[in-house]
Amino acid sequence: MTVAAALFLVARNLPVRHGFTLRSGGVSEGKRATLDLGPAADAGADVHENRMRLARAAGLQADRLVLAEQVHGTAVVRARPGVLPEADALWTEGPEAWIGIRTADCVPVLLSSEDGARVAAVHSGWRGTVARIAETSVAALACEGTPPEALRAAIGPAIGACCYEVSEDLAGRFAGAFGAEVVRREGDRPRLDLRLAVRRTLVASGVPETHIEDVPGCNACDATRFFSHRRDRGGTGRHLAFIAPGLVS
Ligand SMILES: [Zn+2]
């Protein structure tokens, strides 16, 4: 059997088309080599080609992808084709759109109702995590009729507790908000387990622990598979965490 090079990782627990992209398989060059899924607006020809490749690999239509202008805020917005909202989480239902959020260290979270009809994509950097954007997203889906216990969640690759050194001040804020376990203290400086903080936020929002899957990977450790804003000191490519409503039969 021949297996094509994978463009993205998937979670086993989501019933819909989705993925967390890797950095290989695209056409971008330099620090953004190769599968840069780029800025939401004013993307170059290489990023457009990368989006086409991703859409093909995922079995989705490239022109129905809706992105957001991410601002490290807490706005959760319904995706509208042709509209680029300022938001850090998008949700959608029906066939008109699929959605994605871009990361290069921040935590991507994908949510789907059990029936696959309603989905969300969430960008949770440290600011968004402190502001509990995952909880706001769960609440937004509940408003539309999907209760938290009927959600499936996947937390994708991000900068790991192995690499994410922060100030004592920020470590203290995280320990106070999410519990001492989200701070590691083996090295000189405290390091944050952002992924665990996001998981705890989802559980506190009512998503059952058993409905949350971790798709592992540390962006900073693994330069072959991932872009990392911190490791590459800016100018790096962006991953896309994407999800489309509709059960995969
Ligand atoms: Zn690491």
Q: Tens of pLDDT along 85-115?
A: 999 999 999 999 999 999 999 999 999 999 9
How far does residue 219's CA lie from ligand 1's centre (Å)?
Answer: 7
pLDDT digits (tens, 9 = 90+) for 5-50: 699 999 999 999 999 999 999 999 999 999 999 999 999 999 999 9
CA distance 153 to 231: 27
Find the largest Cα–Cα distance for the chain. Answer: 52
Q: Nearest-CA neighbor of 101 among 88, 113, 111, 91? A: 88
Answer yes or no: is pLDDT of 168 > 80. Answer: yes
User: Could you state, in order of their start, the residue ranges of all structural domains in the chain?
Assistant: 13-159+217-247
How far does residue 105's CA lie from ligand 1's centre (Å)?
Answer: 10
Q: Nearest-CA neighbor of 226 among 179, 152, 157, 166? A: 157
DSSP state of 162: T
Residues whose beta carbons lie less than 5 angstroms from ion ligand 1: 160, 162-163, 218, 220-221
How far does residue 83's CA lie from ligand 1's centre (Å)?
Answer: 35
Please give the model's pTM, rounded to 2 decimal places: 0.97
How far does residue 231's CA lie from ligand 1's centre (Å)?
Answer: 10
Percent of the chain, pLDDT > 70?
98
Domain 13-159+217-247, classified CATH 3.40.50.880, yes or no: no
Assigned token pair, 81: 């084709």
Angstrom distances, CA of residue 138 to CA of 39, 50, 144:
26, 30, 10
How far does residue 50's CA lie from ligand 1's centre (Å)?
Answer: 26
Q: Nearest-CA neighbor of 192 among 181, 208, 205, 204? A: 181
